[in-house]
Structure 1
């Protein structure tokens, strides 16, 4: 579902367009009307059971997802979707810390549905996120990732994220214990 940013009231400078491997790719700020498609795509990633610490029964319904998109934006955060040929393929979010003590920080979360992995979309989402964070006064981005997700860890390191901590044996994925890795980048 492509959105006309001029009609949506969103700043057009927060939209990026690319041509990647023959596909039209658009990164843009999510709007509440995206909630249904975002929920559907996110359910696909949750179903894999290897990247996100969620289960299908904890996934927010469309109304809650709509509220989440609005809340993140209302609290000076970023909720970005990546569209491939007009279909939402993933998202990236920056949830800011509370006003006052930690508003200069943000928690990063991202996901892509399987069909669109390996196209370089993760890099584009991360570059977009870093640029957006700098433009909006975020000084530190935090994230967590399972230690088995070596591809993501390599990408985060490439873009300047450093290890801040580890919770050993934090989860069981595919019958094996995995550590939760905490990384951060100062801007």
Structure 2
């Protein structure tokens, strides 16, 4: 089966344009052509060894990243990118639960590369994600976050997420135990 990527992109291309602190910001659905830049930017966040559980060895190659974009979209999920002045600065994903069982829920994941934090992009991505979820029949958004990520937890609380549970001492960063906090929002 031949897939028309432009048709696929236009079908799911919900785009928002903003001006933030003098920069042109666009949030739109990812397309397979974004894979190389997404991988590069995501690798930068992983190198920080602060916000994500991945290691540089875990990173998908470009072909796998293209497949991931397509799989999320094919399962009626969301894979959005935020571009600042034409460069990908981060992404947000909603991975839907299994059809028939938990398809009304989605697991949220987001990241921003260094240099683009503190610009309000997290808020814009969150608003985009919640609006997208409502339009596409998602009833509950789930996420997990390290308890040391105060900035993210404040953002999630601001947008109505509540703590549902915690895995104590789930990770070790700089020799200190970190809890994994599970949060959710009903739409």
Please, what TM-score do these two structures have when normalized by structure 2?
0.95
Alignment of 1:111-122 (within 5 A): 111-122=111-122
Question: Partners in 2 of 1:152 and 1:63 — Cα distance?
Answer: 30
SS of the residue corresponding to residue 119 of structure 2 reads coil
Alignment of 1:1-187 (within 5 A): 9-11=9-11, 14-187=14-187
Label 1:9 to 1:142 Cα distance change in 2 as closer, same or farther (>3 A): closer
Give the deviation of 1:8 after TM superposition. Answer: 6.7
Label 1:99 to 1:108 Cα distance change in 2 as closer, same or farther (>3 A): same
| Structure 1 ranges of 4+ moved more than 6 A | 5-8
SS of the residue corresponding to residue 115 of structure 1 reads coil
Give the deviation of 1:111 after TM superposition. Answer: 0.1
| Cα deviation code 1:56-90 (max 9, x no counterpart) | 00011111010000000000000000000000000
* Contact persistence 1:73–1:79 (CA under 8 A): yes
Give the deviation of 1:15 after TM superposition. Answer: 0.1
Please, what TM-score do these two structures have when normalized by structure 1?
0.95
Question: Partners in 2 of 1:160 and 1:42 — Cα distance?
Answer: 27
Give the deviation of 1:10 after TM superposition. Answer: 1.6
Deviates more, 1:156-165 or 1:6-15: 6-15
SS of the residue corresponding to residue 115 of structure 2 reads helix
Question: Partners in 1 of 2:35 and 2:161 — Cα distance?
Answer: 29
Question: Partners in 1 of 2:12 and 2:24 — Cα distance?
Answer: 17
Question: Partners in 2 of 1:53 and 1:13 — Cα distance?
Answer: 29
What's the RMSD between the two structures over aligned residues?
1.5
* Contact persistence 1:50–1:174 (CA under 8 A): no
Structure 2 spans left out of the alignment, 5+ residues: none
* Number of residue pairs the alignment of both structures matches: 183
